[in-house]
Amino acid sequence: MSKKIICENYLKERIIFEYKFPFFLKSVDGLHEVLGVVAGMKSAYSIGENYIGTSVEKRNILIKGAIRDDVINNRQKLYRSFPLKSTGILYYYEDDLERKIEYKVESVQIDNKGLHKQFQISLICPNPYFTDLEKTTLQMATWSPCFKFALKIPHNTGIKFGVKNTTSMATIQNDTNIEFGMTLTFTANDTVVNPSLFNVDTREEMKIEKTMEAGDKIIVNTYRQNKNITYIPVTSGIEQNINNLMVYGSKFLQVHHGSNTYRYNADTGVDNLEAVIEYVNEYEAVWW
């Protein structure tokens, strides 16, 4: 079984923990647990409690290992790679499994006794969920090129440089028990009025009351802790927050468990609209 952990700090400096020196990985805790707190309310004369809900606790990852070679420099490298209160990303590799998670540094402890210097690094993950290493991109409307080299342009007729694929739907299969968000990018090729995205399976819709001109973009983040709508006009390129333009009754769409089929639309000009969805799967823990 091959296991490796890479921690990348906010300066993009990386340090590798594996079953060999200089940073020998002895153990790592906090990867496989799922911790929750069940909240309830007890009333007079009741039996037990009334269930209110369950919250998911933050994740504490403890990396334990040993330094043997070039102790002074490698000890300083550990301290330098994990400055307190800083943010970093932990990458976990085990055989074909690849995951990542964002962390805050809580503590770095190094025992200077003995030939092998023992260390322990405590990392706190406020968002306890692991994710894929890379985003998945779904292009719901794309352009296919219609020319090739050697290029010949017929006199008086011209050629088509591209044809728009008219597929307005895309499906995301979520095999986990976690609902997660996405990034949706609308791009206008001409005038578009009130773009929207609709979940065919849940009948939920997100609609934005905005007229777009050629080159304009609207970027929608529906992530759990970063729900936001940004408008970028081609004339200025300056980002504008337009959360207030989300139509009443709309939702920041999530990717629910199971199949999620999305369809984009607009009140007028849907043929002038391109839509791209980006997302990363989330996981409750790293399983054996």
SS3 percent helix, strand, coil of the chain, rounded to 5, is 5, 50, 40
What's the rounded Cα separation, in Å, for the pair 120 and 110? 7
- Written as six digits, the tokens of 15 are 């340090």
What's the rounded Cα separation, in Å, for the pair 50 and 283? 29
What's the rounded Cα separation, in Å, for the pair 138 and 21? 42
DSSP string over 178-191: --B--EEEEEESS-
- Give yes or no for a contact between 97 and 286, defined as CB atoms under 8 angstroms apart: yes
**Tens digit of pLDDT per residue, the chain (288 long)?**
588 999 999 999 999 999 999 999 999 999 998 888 888 888 877 788 888 888 889 999 999 999 988 899 999 999 999 999 899 999 999 988 999 999 999 999 999 887 789 999 999 999 999 999 999 999 886 555 555 666 666 666 656 555 555 567 889 999 988 999 999 999 999 999 999 999 999 999 999 999 999 999 999 999 988 899 999 999 999 999 999 999 999 999 999 999 999 999 999 999 999 999 999 999 998 875
pLDDT at 155: 65
Residue ranges with strand state E in 146-225: 162-164, 169-174, 183-188, 192-199, 204-207, 211-212, 217-223
What's the rounded Cα separation, in Å, for the pair 183 and 279? 6
pLDDT at 276: 94
- Give yes or no for a contact between 216 and 233, defined as CB atoms under 8 angstroms apart: yes
Task: Provide the sign of the torsion angle of the four alpha carbons 123, 126, 129, 134, taken in this order.
Answer: negative
SS3 of 104-125: the string is EEEEEEEECCCCCEEEEEEEEE
Nearest Cα to 33, choosing from 56, 6, 17, 52? 56
pLDDT at 123: 97
What's the rounded Cα separation, in Å, for the pair 63 and 121? 5
Quote the pTM value. 0.82
- Give yes or no for a contact between 33 and 124, defined as CB atoms under 8 angstroms apart: no
Q: CB within 8 A of 97, min separation 6: which ones?
A: 286
